Structure 1
Amino acid sequence: MGPRAGHRGELSPADLLVAGGGPAGWSAARACARRGLDVVLVDPRPDRTWRHTYGAWAHELPRSGPDALPPEVVAAQDVGWAIATRTHRLDDEYAVLDTPALQRALYDDGVRVVRGRVVTAGAGRAVLADGRECRAGLVADATGAPQALSAHRGRGRRAEQTAVGVVVDEATAARVTGGRLLFMDWRPLHGVPGWPTFLYAVPLGGGRVLLEETSLARRPGLPLPDLSERLRRRLLAAGLRGAEIPLDDPARVEHVRFPVDTPDHRPPDGVVALGAAAPLVHPATGFSVARSLRVATRLADACVARSDHPAVIDGSGGAAWARRAVRGGSAGIVHAMRGRGLDVLLRLPPGEVPEFFDRFFSLPTAPRRAYLGADDDVAESLRAMVWVFARLTPRLRGHLIIGSLAGPGPAQRP
C-alpha cells in the first residue's frame, strides 16, 4: 500500500510538516508519527516510485527498536572488496536495499500526505505554491540538494557523484567480479585516460547484479554518456559480449547524479533540514540513507521530549533544539573533515588516485569504519586522516596539503 495524497483544504495544523517525500522525509515522518505526533508530509508527487539503488554498511541499519526496518528491506548483504593497485577485503558487510521494500517500510498511514510543494516556511507556518498554508510547530526541509526552504541557497558549480549502471544476471556478473561484491574497483580496464572512475558491483537479490561505472566526485560531474562508454569498454575488456551489456534497455539501466558538497542549510525560524538538504550526504561516499534513518529516530525522540508536547510546538520556540538533534554534537566537525578529504580527492592527479585508495583501504578497521560510516567519531576520523597521510609518498602528501589548505578547486577537465 502506498501513500494517499490529501485533497485541498486538508491542511489543518500539525506538530510536524515535512517538505519532501524521499527516504529522508519519510524516515522522519514515520518515526514522528509512530510516537504520536500529528505529521503532514507535502510532496509534488507523493505516489512516485523510488528507483535509485540504496546501500549502507550492514551494522548501521536499524534492526531493532521503534524505527527498525523489516528484514525484507535488505535485498543482499555480503563482505565488500576494494581494488586499487592491490585487492583489499573489507571487514564490514555491505547491505544493498530493496528499494520498493524500503519505500513500503517507511510509509506510515498515520502521516497525512498532501500533494503540493512548500515554497516558504518559518515561524510556525508553511506556504505551498498554490497558496495553501499550514501551521506547524516544526517544519522539516527534506527537499534534497535544492534546499527549497533555505534562507540562502549556495551558488556555484557543485562537486557531483555520477554513475551509469546496468543490471545483469549473477552468472554474467561473476565473469566481471569473480563473484565478489565490489565496493570500488579502480582498475582502468575501460582504457580511457583522464578523470578516474571505478566499478561498483553489488547484488540486488533475485539473481540480479548491478554493474555501475562511477565517478566518485568531480566538479562538475563526469557526463553520463562518458560513463556509459567507459562501462561498455570495461565490460568488454572483462570478456562480456556486446549483447550481454544492456545499455540500450532503459528497464535495466540506472543513471545517478547528485551533489556531494551541498552548502550548509540556512534555515528560517522554525525549520530544520534533513537528508541531502541538511546536508547529510557523506562527502566521501555519497551515502545518506543510514544516516537519515538514525537522524529520524533522534528527531522523533527530541520531539516527544519537549516539555510542551503534544503541542510541540507552537512554532514560537524556534528549531535550535531540533537542529541539535539532527546534527548531533560533533557532526559538523566530522562533516567538515570529510569535506576537506573531498577537496583533496578533487585535486589529486588522476593517475595517483588508485595509489591514494590503496593507502586508505589499508587502514585499520576502526578508523576506516569511522571515516566511511554514518557515525560522527572525531577521534577515529582524525586518526584515519593522519594514518593515511603518514603512509603517502612525498608527492601525494604535497597534493593532500594543497587540497586541505586551498579548499574547493576549480572545475575539472575531462
Structure 2
Amino acid sequence: MAFLSSTAPALLQHRHPLRLRRPTALRAPHRPPRPVLGGPPASSAARRRFTMVTTTPSKQPTPSSTAVSTYDVVVIGGGPAGLSLAAGLGVRGLTVLCADLTLNKPWPNNYGTWLDELEPLALDDCTSHQWPRAAAYVHSDPRKSTLNRPYARVDRHAMKRRFLQRCHDCHNVTVVHAAAELLDTTSSHQYTYVSLNVLSSDPSDPVPTTVAGSVVVDATGHNLRFVKFRQGKAPGFQAAYGIECVVSDKSYPYATDEMLLMDFRNDHMRDSPTDFQQSLDQPTFLYVMPLDDGEGRLVFFEETSLVASPAMDFDQLKARLYKRLAYNGIEVESVLDEEFCLIPMGGPMPDLRQRVVAFGGAAALVHPATGYMIARALKLADDAAEIIMQEMRHDTDADSTAHRIWDRIWNQGRQRQRDFFNFGGEYLATIDLHTTREFFSAFFQLPTRQWADFLSFRLVQPIQRLTFGLGVFARTSNRVRFTLMWDALVKGRLPLLLSVLPISDPNYEE
C-alpha cells in the first residue's frame, strides 16, 4: 500500500513509487528488446553516426581525446521522478539529456494518490479513476471508517506523455532510449562522463556513446547502481501482490463509489490455527479500487504488508489475497493484470558527499512509514531543478557543486522530518495486528489535516510533528501508548527527540 506510489496498496498514496510490476526492485536492471521510438529502422552505419542532441552542446575532450557531447545535466532514468526533474531543468534553460532504459514502454507501476496532491501540480487530469472518498476497516469490530478525502488512480500513460511533451517543448531537453552502463567521476574536475548503450532496432547491436554532464542525477529508483548510501539499519520493505480482474456479477461486497484504502480484518484466516496466528503476527491488509464506475465487475485487489523486515513473501501474500476473496464470496472470472510490488522504506540516508546526485527513490524520498513517493517527487522536482540551476551558477568543480545540491535537497529540516517518519515506519514493522488496528483507529480519529499531512510527507515543522504524535497518543489504547514510549526510549532516542523539538532549520521549505 504504499501505505501510509503506484496503484498498489499504499496506504494512501498508492505507493508508491513507486511500485514494480515484477519483484525486481532490488535486482540490477535487465536489458529488454531495443526498438527505436519512431521512424524507420536505421542502418548500422547510420546508428553509429547517431547524435543524441537536439540543441548544440559544447564539445569537450574525454580522457581518450574523443569529442563527446556535454550537457548541463544528465538525468539517468525516465520514471516520474526523472522526467519531471528533466522538464523542470529544461524550463530553466539548462541543457539536459535524460536517458531511460524503458523509454518505449509504459511505466510499470500503478500509482495511486490523493487527488489534492495532484491538483496543485495541474496533473489532476492525468488520472484514470477518481473516487470522492476512501474507506478503511481498522477497528477490532466490523466498523468502517469513512475518509472524506478524494483519491485517484494515476493514468501512467497520460502522465508519461505529459512529461515527455514538457521535455519536448523545452527544446533543450533530449530524451533518449539508452542504458547507462558506467560513470567516470575521476577523469575530470568539471564533468562526469556517462557511458551509454543507445538502444536500436537491432537488439544485438546497441550503439555505445559517451556524454558528459556538469551534474549527473541518478533517478533510477531503488536499483542504486550509481549512488552510495551510508551504513546503518537495514530498510523495511513494503510488499504487495495485486490483480486487476473481472469478478462475477453481484459478487463485489464493497461500495462501488469509494476506494478501500485498507481492510485489516482477518476473519478469512480463522479456518486454521496456524494461519490465524500468522495473520496476527504478520498483519496484512486489502487495498481495493473499483474501476468500472459503479458496476463492481472490474476491480483491482491488492494484499499488502505495510512494512516488514525481512519483506513478506509474494506467494504468502497471494495465498492470503485469494483466501480473503473466497471468504468474501468474490469470484474471479479472469485476471487481466498481475502486480508484484516491493518498496524499500526507511533505512540509512544517501552519502551526501558524492558527485552523483540522486532524486526520487534513489535519493531515499520514499515515505519511510507509508511507501508513498510519487506525489512528493513530482512536487519536489521543481524545487530540485531550481536548486541545481542556482548551484551551477557558482564557478566550482563538479564535486563541490554536487555536495551543495545534496545539502539543499537533504537539508537539516528534511532530515529531521525523515527521522520522525522513520521512527513511525520502524514502529509499524514490529507491532502485531491488534496493536496495528488500535494505532490506525486512533490515527483516523485525528483531524483530517493531521493524518493527511502524515501520509503526504508533510508535518514540516517540529511543532506539527509533536502535535500529531500527542494526538495519536491521547486517542489510542494503553497498549499502543506503552509500545510507543518503549520504542521512543529504546529506538527513537536523540533523532526522534530532535525531530519534535521546536528547533527548525531556517532554510527548510517543503
TM over 0.5: yes
Equivalent position amino acid for 1:53 in 2: N
Q: Does 1:403 pair with 2:487?
A: yes
Larger Rg: 2
What one-letter code is carried by the residue in structure 1 that aligns with 2:212?
R
Q: Could you tell me how far apart the structure 1 residues matched to 2:460 and 2:251 are?
A: 36
Q: Secondary structure at the match of 1:71?
A: coil
Corresponding residue for residue 92 of structure 2: 35
Per-residue deviation at 1:63?
4.2
Closer/same/farther in 2, CA of residues 176 and 355 from structure 1, 3 Å limit: same
Q: Residues 136-178 of structure 1, C-alpha deviation per residue, up to 9 Å, x if partnerless? A: 1211121212322223465875311111112235886972322
- Equivalence for 1:112: 175
Measured on the aligned residues, the alpha-carbon RMSD in Å equals: 3.1
Q: Is this contact kept in 2: 1:331–1:376, CA < 8 A?
A: no
Distance 2:365 2:249 in 1: 35
Identical counterparts, % of pairs: 28
For each residue in 1:169-205, what CA deviation from the matched residue of structure 2 results, as whole angstroms up to 9, or x when unmatched? 5886972322231111111143142211111112446
Distance 1:132 1:370 in 2: 44
Q: 1:334 aligns with which of 406, 410, 417?
A: 417
Question: Which structure 2 residues correspond to residues 168-179 of structure 1 after superposition, within 5 A?
Answer: 168-169=245-246, 175-179=252-256
Tell me if structure 1 keeps the 8 A contact 2:289–2:299. yes
Q: CA deviation at 1:389?
A: 1.9
Seen in structure 2, the aligned counterparts of structure 1 residues 260 and 306 have a Cα distance that, compared at 3 Å, is closer
Corresponding residue for residue 131 of structure 2? 77
Q: Would you say the 8 A contact 1:57–1:92 is kept in 2? A: yes
**Residue of structure 2 equivalent to 1:411:** none
Retained in 1: the 8 A contact 2:352–2:406? no
2:287 corresponds to: 200
Aligned residues: 397
Contact 1:76 1:205 in 2 (8 A): no
Measure, in 2, the Cα distance between the counterparts of 1:376 and 1:135: 39
Q: 2:344 aligns with which of 259, 264, 269?
A: 259
1:276-315 equivalent positions in 2, closer than 5 A: 276-305=361-390, 308=393, 315=398
- Taking the aligned partners of 1:70 and 1:367, their CA distance within structure 2 comes to 22
Residues 359 and 388, structure 1, Cα contact 8 Å, conserved in 2: yes
Deviations 1:278-316 (A, max 9, x none): 10111222111101111111122334445739xx98636
Find out whether 1:227 has 2:317 as its counterpart. yes
Choose from 429, 436, 454 the match for 1:371: 454
Distance 1:303 1:155 in 2: 28
Secondary structure of the residue that 1:265 maps to in structure 2? coil
Verify the 8 A CA contact 1:290 1:374 in the aligned structure 2.
no
Mapped to 2, the partners of 1:341 and 1:184 lie a distance apart of 18
Matched, 1:165 2:242: yes
Structure 1, unaligned stretches of length 5 or more?
409-414
Most deviating of 26-35 and 373-382: 373-382
Moved more, 90-99 or 274-283: 90-99
For residue 268 of structure 1, report the CA deviation from its aligned partner: 4.8
TM-score, structure 1 normalization? 0.85
Deviations 1:310-362 (A, max 9, x none): xx986364224433553466221111101101111112123321122111111
Structure-1 residue corresponding to 2:3: none
Paired with 1:3 and 1:98, the residues of 2 have a C-alpha distance of 21
| One-letter amino acid of the structure 2 residue matched with residue 212 of structure 1 | E
- Give the conservation status (yes or no) of the 8 Å contact 2:115–2:152: yes
Q: 2:310, 2:133 → 1: CA distance?
A: 32
- The structure-2 alpha-carbon separation of the partners of 1:36 and 1:384, relative to structure 1 and needing over 3 Å to count, comes to same
Listed one character per residue, the Cα deviations across residues 209-245 of structure 1 (whole Å, up to 9, x for unaligned) are 311111111111111111111111111111123x43x
**Counterparts of 1:4 and 1:23 in 2: how far apart (Å)?**
22
Q: Is 1:44 aligned to residue 101 of structure 2?
A: yes
Give yes or no for contact 1:151–1:268 (8 Å, CA) kept in 2.
Answer: no
Distance 1:231 1:285, change over 3 A: same
Letter in 2 for 1:112: V
